[in-house]
Structure 1
């Protein structure tokens, strides 16, 4: 997809999220829709075989698979998440993602308030 719309042009109108980015060969593609210090909303498209290695983040997160299916590890336990399904990831817990086949997802991250 060439010349994507600026994020500010996406507010206050219905969106077909899967249409906002394309799967690219042997790549992971991302598009930030909203980003604030308190969190973000980002679209991702993973080609088959792509992965994000285990890591932690200081955010509670939700992965919602839009198309295809993803394998998501949380604290070493793998889960298959299919189109239309979501999985919640707790902050500071190791997690990873891999693509058994191409898929698209939206990632919502929220920073926990300081205690």
Structure 2
């Protein structure tokens, strides 16, 4: 089992969420976060003065999946739908999960990740 964590632009969330749902990955956690990457934020000019915004609003999207094949599918979907081609499009991290437990039923492992009732 794996956790795919993606940091994406807030304006791309609906597109990514819809694409994941259409592909059979409806379960996700979405967290509003702030962050910066290599570009260390953005520089604005106002009345001949520069100011830097070094922590930008982002979305942290978490999707738990059962197999490596699912990991690749989710990565492909996120990359396709979150990309603008400009710096700040985000990052994806893949983390190995030891276990998962559905609170309501106490199902464990891949059974806990199943989308079927």
Give the TM-score category using the shorter length: under 0.3
User: Which of these two proteins has the greater Rg computed from alpha carbons?
Assistant: 2
| Larger proportion of helix | 2
TM-score by length of 1: 0.27
